[in-house]
C-alpha cells in the first residue's frame, strides 16, 4: 500500500510517499522560518497562504522523485490536528480533493502520533513496547507505548512545555526564531558557572514536568540586564542545561518505573544535541536501548504522517473513502486517541 502524507499543521509544508513494503519512498519539506522570523513567531494567516502555494508543487516533486503517478496511490493521510485551523484546512482539503478524484481513502492523523512513531522510519527502528519522551512544541509528555494506538500517559507538563521554555527564553535573550536552535547555537559559546537556574520538579518523585518557573527565572535575569554577549551566551548555556537535565532525568526515571528497557525520544526538541548527549550517557550507564528519529525527521514532516496513516489503515481504522468531506481538530488532546483493538478486545 502506497500512502501520500500531507503535513500542514503549522509553519512547515511536508509531503511524503510511504510504501508498506518498501518503506519511505520520497519526502520533501518547505520551512516558513524565514518568512515568520521577522515577526518573532508564526503568523497564522501567512502560514495558511504559504501552504496553499507549496502543497501541490511539493506533491508533484515527491511523485517525480519516486517515479510514480498519482494513480499509484492507495490512500492519502493528512494532519487533522492539533495545529493552526487555517493551515490544517489546506492539507485536509487537498487530501479530500485528491482522494475524491482518485477514489481512494483519506485518513486524518494526529500530529503528535506522527512524531511519536517517527522513529519507526529510522535506520534502527524500535520494537514495541517502549517508553517515549515526546517533546514537540507545546507538548512534553512521557508515554508507555505497547503498540500502534496503545498509549498510556505516564506524565506531562503542568504548564509550559520544554519547547515553549526554549522559545520564550530565546525571546527574552533577543534571539531569533525558532527558539530551540537559537538557544542551542548560543549555548555552544557559553560557559558554566555564571548563572544557576532552577530544575523544576526534578525531585518531585513523579513523572510530571513544569517549565514556567524556569521561564520566569530567565525573565528576571534578562530584565536585570546582561553585561555583554558573553553573559547572554552563558545564560543560554544554563537554559539548555536546565531543560535537558530535567527531560533526561524524567525519561530515565520512566524507563526504571515501567521496566520497559527501550526509550524513544521524538518531536522537535529531540534534535537538541545536548539532550542526546545526556541520554546517551544514561544509556551507557543503565543499559537500556535508545532511539531517536533522524535529524531531518525531528521537525514536522510528511513522512511521519504517511507512516501513521498506513499503520492506522492496516489496523482497520476508519477512513473517508473517496474524500468529499473532511474534519480538522485544531485542539485535539492526545489522550483522546482510542486504542486500536479496544473494541475487538471488548
Name the more confident of 339 and 233. Answer: 233
In order of 5, 97, 103, 303, the CA distances from 100 in angstroms are 16, 5, 5, 22
The predicted model scores a pTM of 0.94
CA distance 254 to 14: 32
Residue 41, pLDDT > 90, answer: no
The residues near 258 (Cβ < 8 Å, ≥ 6 apart) are 131, 144, 154
pLDDT-based confidence at residue 323 (cuts at 50, 70, 90): low
CA distance 59 to 185: 33
pLDDT tens figures, 99-114: 999 999 999 999 999 9
Q: What is the mean pLDDT of residues 156-173?
A: 95
Helix (H, G, I), strand (E, B), or coil: what is residue 245?
A: helix
pLDDT-based confidence at residue 344 (cuts at 50, 70, 90): very low
Consecutive H or E run containing 314: helix 302-314
Residue 345, pLDDT > 50, answer: no
Residue 341, pLDDT > 50, answer: no
Q: Can you list the domains of the chain with their CATH numbers?
A: 2-116+298-345 (3.30.420.40), 127-292 (3.30.420.40)
pLDDT-based confidence at residue 320 (cuts at 50, 70, 90): confident
Residue 327, pLDDT > 90, answer: no
Among 274, 172, 187, smallest CA distance to 218 is for 172
pLDDT tens figures, 66-90: 999 999 999 999 999 999 999 999 9
Q: What is the pLDDT of residue 203?
A: 94
DSSP 8-class letter at 11: S
CA distance 303 to 323: 21
Q: What is the pLDDT of residue 338?
A: 52
pLDDT tens figures, 144-159: 999 999 999 999 999 9
Q: What is the mean pLDDT of residues 268-286?
A: 97
CA distance 7 to 13: 6
Residue 167, pLDDT > 80, answer: yes
Amino acid at each position: 500500500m502506497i500512502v501520500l502524507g500531507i503535513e500542514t499543521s503549522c509553519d512547515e509544508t511536508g509531503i511524503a510517499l510511504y510504501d508498506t513494503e518498501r518503506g519511505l519512498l520520497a519526502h520533501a519539506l518547505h520551512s516558513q522560518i524565514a518568512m515568520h522570523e521577522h515577526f518573532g513567531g508564526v503568523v497564522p494567516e501567512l502560514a495558511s497562504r504559504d501552504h496553499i502555494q507549496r502543497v501541490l508543487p511539493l506533491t508533484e516533486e515527491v511523485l517525480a522523485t519516486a517515479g510514480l503517478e498519482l494513480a499509484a496511490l492507495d490512500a492519502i493521510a493528512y494532519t487533522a490536528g492539533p495545529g493552526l485551523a487555517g493551515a490544517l484546512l489546506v492539507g485536509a482539503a487537498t487530501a479530500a480533493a485528491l482522494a475524491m478524484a482518485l477514489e481512494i481513502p483519506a485518513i486524518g492523523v494526529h500530529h503528535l502520533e506522527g512524531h511519536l512513531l517517527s522513529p519507526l522510519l529510522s535506520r534502527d527502528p524500535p520494537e514495541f513496547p517502549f517508553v517515549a519522551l515526546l517533546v514537540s512544541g507545546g507538548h512534553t509528555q512521557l508515554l508507555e507505548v505497547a503498540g500502534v494506538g496503545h498509549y498510556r500517559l505516564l506524565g506531562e507538563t503542568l504548564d509550559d512545555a520544554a519547547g515553549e521554555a526554549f522559545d520564550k527564553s530565546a525571546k527574552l535573550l533577543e534571539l531569533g526564531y525558532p527558539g530551540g536552535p537559537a538557544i542551542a547555537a548560543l549555548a555552544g559559546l557559553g560557559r558554566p558557572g555564571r548563572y544557576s537556574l532552577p530544575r523544576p520538579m526534578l525531585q518531585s518523585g513523579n513523572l510530571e514536568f513544569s517549565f514556567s518557573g524556569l521561564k520566569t527565572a530567565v525573565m528576571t535575569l534578562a530584565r536585570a540586564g546582561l553585561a555583554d554577549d558573553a553573559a547572554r551566551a552563558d545564560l543560554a548555556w544554563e537554559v539548555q542545561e536546565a531543560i535537558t537535565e530535567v527531560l533526561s532525568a524524567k525519561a530515565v526515571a520512566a524507563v526504571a518505573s515501567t521496566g520497559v528497557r527501550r526509550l524513544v525520544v521524538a518531536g522537535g526538541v529531540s534534535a537538541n544535541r545536548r539532550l542526546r548527549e545526556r541520554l546517551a550517557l544514561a544509556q551507557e550507564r543503565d543499559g537500556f536501548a535508545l532511539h531517536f528519529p533522524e535529524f531531518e525527521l525531528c521537525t514536522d514532516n510528511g513522512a511521519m504522517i504517511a507512516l501513521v496513516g498506513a499503520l492506522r489503515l492496516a489496523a482497520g481504522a476508519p477512513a473517508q473513502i473517496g474524500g468529499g468531506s473532511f474534519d480538522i481538530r485544531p485542539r485535539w488532546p492526545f489522550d483522546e486517541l482510542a486504542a486500536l483493538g479496544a473494541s475487538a478486545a471488548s
